[in-house]
């Protein structure tokens, strides 16, 4: 029996939060904690929260109500809120749920070891949500600890773009890029432990710039690490898709032919009102250039439906854009008004109208995804296997175009890149046989 304390951590929201959660767990492991997937046996529960839409934020309070019941029986259970709700709501969280012991915003994770020791001393009501971004990356421990075929690496945090609907610039602060040396040494470390793929992460990953080193030059340096066979990045902004970056897709075979490039709307009027800073035509031009440079590239996007002022015509333009681009997959959301954002002062559209439009868009995007997956049938793909699947002898990996693939194999193929012939198509993934 281990005499370590146990932490249960639940992560909401984006990949940045996933990455942060792993870092927080590393700090806890240094302090004699281990992670558990059973909330009942936890000595500490951390909710790493997301504030992007109202639903995501409200979920936190209902979850807290449930966790509080555990604390009623186990009074020394520590409850912590991290992530973007922690940053946005700060002290208000203690008011709404007094069972919470600590609140840490994403700007202050470097203070987490200090917080752990305060908790050990029995302190409560600990709060760290100040904004002193600049040394954030310096004190971050390398995440290269756990061996994984596909490793996430945060290279940039924060956002200066201030889209009118979005909380991220307020919760994650201004754009900060991490030093190229730190990034490359973390990746080399991961490569030693078996990583074959790197996914570079940032809220605006392609706005990366560290002391004059651009995002594309970082990718060129990273491509020189032999053990790394695949490079991906997210999330990028159309405004930062420089020609240099676009051309890299033609020069670096390791740069995978899949790009998640959120556009939000197909109407120039709405894009302007959202402060996105580009036109629909410019978005299409990026897509066309990339398709010309890299024949097999496919695309994913994010859409917001029912932004204040969106007319039937604006919405139709979004549909038209989708038909023109043909996405391999995409995410779409109803607009959710977020406190403190400029768009929250605008009059909202009727909820039913928003829902109807979202339905129409999602229908189209699902069809496009099905079409894309069906095109893969009988094709041979290179697949990097990342984990064991749910079925007997099943393994799950991804194609170069990022589609999930399941195969059956007697030997363990996790961490290997293997040729797979696709023989059937599921709703969001592929099945195949090893060649």
Show the site string, 348-367: x = touches ligand SAH by CB under 6 A, - = not.
--------------------
Which of ligand SF4, ligand F3S, ligand SAH, none does residue 368 bind to, with CB < 5 to 8 Å depending on kind? none
107 binds ligand F3S (CB under 6 A): no
Question: Of 144 and 241, which has the nearer Cβ to ligand SAH?
Answer: 241
The span from the CA of 10 to the CA of 7, in Å, is 10
Question: Of 402, 314, 287, 305, nearest to 363 (Cα)?
Answer: 305
Residue 348 DSSP class:
P
Q: Is 59 exposed, middle or buried (0-12, 13-18, 19+ CB in 10 A)?
A: middle
Task: Kindly indicate which of the ranges 125-133, 278-286, 330-338, 382-390 contains the residues binding ligand SAH, using the contact rule CB under 6 A.
Answer: 330-338
Question: Of 135, 152, 150, 128, nearest to 23 (Cα)?
Answer: 152
The span from the CA of 159 to the CA of 207, in Å, is 9
C-alpha distance from residue 420 to each of 148, 184, 253, 414 (Å): 21, 31, 19, 14
83 binds ligand F3S (CB under 6 A): yes
Show the site string, 187-226: x = touches ligand SAH by CB under 6 A, - = not.
----------------xx----------------------
Task: Kindly indicate which of the ranges 59-67, 329-337, 359-367, 404-412 contains the residues binding ligand SAH, using the contact rule CB under 6 A.
Answer: 329-337
Which one of residues 77, 163, 286, 430 is an interface residue with ligand SF4 (CB under 6 A)? 163
Beta carbons within 8 Å of 212's beta carbon, 6+ residues apart: none
Placement of tokens 């959710």 in the chain: 336
CB of residue 354 to ligand SF4, shortest distance in Å: 18
Handedness of CA 344, 109, 124, 72 (dihedral sign): positive
The span from the CA of 296 to the CA of 293, in Å, is 9
Question: Of 52 and 321, which has the nearer Cβ to ligand F3S?
Answer: 52
Of all residues in this chain, which one has the CB nearest to ligand F3S in the complex? 13
CB of residue 338 to ligand F3S, shortest distance in Å: 9
Beta carbons within 8 Å of 396's beta carbon, 6+ residues apart: 385, 386, 387, 388, 389, 404, 405, 406
168 binds ligand F3S (CB under 6 A): yes
Which one of residues 165, 299, 315, 327 is an interface residue with ligand SAH (CB under 6 A)? 165
With beta carbons less than 8 A apart as the criterion, state whether 137 and 168 touch. Answer: no
201-220: contacts with ligand SF4 (CB under 6 A): 203-204
Q: Are strands 430-434 and 417-425 parallel, antiparallel or unpaired?
A: antiparallel
169-208: contacts with ligand F3S (CB under 6 A): 171-172
Show the site string, 71-110: x = touches ligand SAH by CB under 6 A, - = not.
----------------------------------------
Question: Of 214 and 264, which has the nearer Cβ to ligand F3S?
Answer: 264
159 binds ligand SF4 (CB under 6 A): yes
Beta carbons within 8 Å of 283's beta carbon, 6+ residues apart: 238, 261, 263, 321
User: Which residues form the interface with ligand SAH (CB under 6 A)?
Assistant: 52-53, 165-166, 168, 203-204, 235, 237, 262, 264, 302, 304, 333, 335-336, 338
């Amino acid at each position: 029996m281990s005499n370590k304390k146990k932490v249960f951590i639940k992560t909401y929201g984006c990949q940045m939060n996933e990455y942060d959660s792993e870092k927080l767990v590393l700090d806890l492991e240094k302090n004699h904690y281990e992670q558990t997937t059973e909330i009942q046996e936890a000595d500490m529960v951390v909710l790493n929260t997301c504030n992007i839409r109202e639903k995501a934020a409200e979920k936190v309070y209902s979850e807290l109500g449930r966790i509080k019941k555990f604390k009623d029986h186990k009074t020394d259970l520590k409850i912590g809120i991290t992530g973007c709700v922690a940053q946005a709501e700060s002290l208000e969280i203690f008011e709404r749920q007094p069972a919470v012991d600590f609140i840490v915003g994403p700007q202050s994770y470097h203070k987490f070891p200090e917080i752990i020791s305060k908790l050990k001393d029995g302190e409560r009501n600990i709060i760290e949500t100040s904004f002193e971004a600049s040394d954030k990356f310096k004190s971050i421990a390398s995440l290269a600890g756990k061996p994984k075929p596909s490793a996430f690496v945060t290279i940039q945090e924060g956002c200066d773009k201030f889209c009118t609907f979005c909380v991220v610039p307020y919760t994650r602060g201004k754009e900060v890029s991490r030093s190229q040396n730190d990034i490359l040494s973390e990746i080399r470390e991961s490569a030693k432990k078996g990583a074959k793929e790197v996914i570079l992460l940032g809220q605006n990953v392609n706005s990366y710039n560290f002391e004059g080193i651009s995002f594309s030059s970082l990718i060129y340096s990273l491509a020189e690490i032999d053990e790394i066979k695949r490079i991906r990045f997210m999330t990028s902004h159309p405004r930062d898709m420089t020609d240099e970056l676009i051309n890299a897709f033609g020069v670096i075979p390791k740069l995978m032919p899949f790009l998640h490039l959120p556009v939000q709307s197909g109407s120039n009027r709405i894009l302007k009102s959202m402060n996105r800073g580009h036109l629909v035509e410019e978005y299409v031009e990026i897509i066309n250039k990339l398709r010309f440079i890299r024949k097999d590239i496919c695309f994913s996007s994010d859409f917001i439906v029912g932004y204040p002022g969106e007319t039937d015509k604006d919405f139709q333009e979004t549909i038209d854009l989708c038909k023109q681009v043909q996405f391999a997959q995409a995410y779409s959301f109803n607009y959710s008004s977020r406190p403190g954002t400029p768009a929250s002062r605008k009059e909202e559209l009727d909820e039913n109208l928003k829902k109807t439009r979202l339905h129409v868009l999602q229908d189209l995007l699902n069809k496009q995804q099905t079409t894309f997956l069906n095109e893969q049938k009988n094709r041979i793909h290179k697949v990097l296997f990342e984990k064991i699947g749910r079925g007997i002898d099943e393994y799950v990996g991804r194609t170069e175009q990022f589609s999930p693939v399941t195969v059956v194999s007697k030997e363990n193929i996790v961490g290997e890149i293997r040729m797979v012939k696709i023989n059937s198509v599921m709703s969001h993934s592929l099945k195949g046989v090893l060649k």
